[in-house]
Structure 1
């Protein structure tokens, strides 16, 4: 694979910073956006940004300071400057409060820790997102906030308290099988609290790994792998807007996890992980004052976030989206995944041999579950 200036360059910015405070109603969403390109883009966009900043007495470009009309004009110039470059805009949107029910599902219903949970209910997208929606529905009256506080403190007694509160609601789940799964999973967790591996409070920075910031950063690393595969390049440089709170955790994630990629299962099952075969480049945390690429990411991200009524701005946003991919964590996305996977599976023709094999596999899984629960 190619290296050096022909490798991938990533310029990433964020908006809606929250850290562990995920229930702020004034800022319900967290965004991260990154321009990923083959070769650096600084030299291509620098004349545009330098000229505008010089004419307007600015140190750097910030979308929220410029307003729609000026952002639109700048984005059109920047898109023209990138014409002929192989690039993509990757953006992540996280509904911050929805992290609570998803973390609860990961903690309680992980089939590798909780043998009462059938693996299909945790390892396949259809059923895992079904659990997330069910738990989100049940975490009313502040249970989600209560759980999140216990979770960040590794408070096991508090976690069991939440399990007990949800267990009382489990019989009212409309779908009988889902009710059985939730009831069994919660009951086993309450009776066997030693199954939990709690890590949020192990060290003063451990909680940061559970935040929207780091979830989005992980998404960016995965998007970078996809880009490198598509264009057969290594990573030369990954530049993220500086973050004093998360710089250590980002460096740790880049060092420990960036070298591993995965292949998704076409039916939303267990992905296959493997070591990447290309250079991972240099990771930098910089001020956008020092990086024109970060300023481009800032403007594109600002535009992506807008609910637009202006026709010209809408057309510019569409041009960016046409060359974008996304990663979204939200209740609405879980519902969309459930619907899409259900439709996909309903269209799949199953032979008698496949049905027989499935039944045999299910027998083995249930036997393993029973054996694990009897230990």
Structure 2
């Protein structure tokens, strides 16, 4: 299989740009190498529009519409598939917080089933319900903070704020579990190793990299990546 990937909305580790709240990935899948077999047809389309590549930045949305018929023919000819992925950037800090603070391998107050089974998505949704936009920003600041003490102070504050909001959860078991997890976390905050200190580490926690890894994991038979 061959996959051709492009993304839109990439803002690095700036997750709160209101003009680009989402990160998108589009993936064309093919059983054949389009770089070879579709090269001639793609070149003809490029000449028609007088561009070096078929990209929205060069064509604009109106010219993109004119490409639909040609790409429909290519899609039928090569039996192409298309997958679409989206990351809501301001939810990403909560996901990171859950993965660090609720990690059952680190936090003994967390249950195995709550972290290692699909139940994690239910708990993650409940956690997101407790977060305000301000707490999300603070959690992301802590994640990117190079100074351990400063990062730990932010995490402790977030845990304390979340504890005061547990009454908003509608079931007693979730309230009990969250309380145990958050109390342990704030009392053992350095064990969480919450912050990414180096430039390299900061790159590895960006939503752009996480999104790309996700599409790779969901297409395990990938033999090649390219961009048309």
**1:245 equivalent in structure 2:** none
1:145 aligned to which of 137, 142, 161: 137
1:161 aligned to which of 151, 157, 160: 157
**1:173 equivalent in structure 2:** 169
CA distance in 1, matches of 2:73, 2:48: 20
**2:120 equivalent in structure 1:** 128
Deviation track 1:315-358 (CA, whole Å, cap 9, x = no partner) reads: xxxxxxxxxxxxxxxxxxxxxxxxxxxxxxxxxxxxxxxxxxxx
SS of equivalent residue, structure 1 residue 161: helix
* Cα contact 1:48–1:77 (8 A) shared by 2: no
**1:238 equivalent in structure 2:** 225
1:28 aligned to which of 21, 27, 30: 21
**1:324 equivalent in structure 2:** none
CA distance in 1, matches of 2:36, 2:72: 14
| 1:217 aligned onto 2:212 | yes
The answer for unaligned runs of 5 or more in structure 2 is none
**1:247 equivalent in structure 2:** none
Deviation track 1:146-177 (CA, whole Å, cap 9, x = no partner) reads: 11101111512211121111112223422111
* Cα contact 2:155–2:186 (8 A) shared by 1: no
Label 1:56 to 1:173 Cα distance change in 2 as closer, same or farther (>3 A).
closer
**2:51 equivalent in structure 1:** 58
Label 1:139 to 1:11 Cα distance change in 2 as closer, same or farther (>3 A).
same
Q: How many residues align?
A: 224
What is the Cα deviation at residue 33 of structure 1? Answer: 1.4
Label 1:206 to 1:66 Cα distance change in 2 as closer, same or farther (>3 A).
same
Using the size of structure 1 for normalisation, the TM-score is 0.55
CA distance in 1, matches of 2:82, 2:203: 25
| 1:81 aligned onto 2:77 | no
What is the Cα deviation at residue 68 of structure 1? Answer: 4.8
RMSD value, Cα: 2.1
Using the size of structure 2 for normalisation, the TM-score is 0.88
The answer for unaligned runs of 5 or more in structure 1 is 1-7, 229-233, 240-293, 296-375
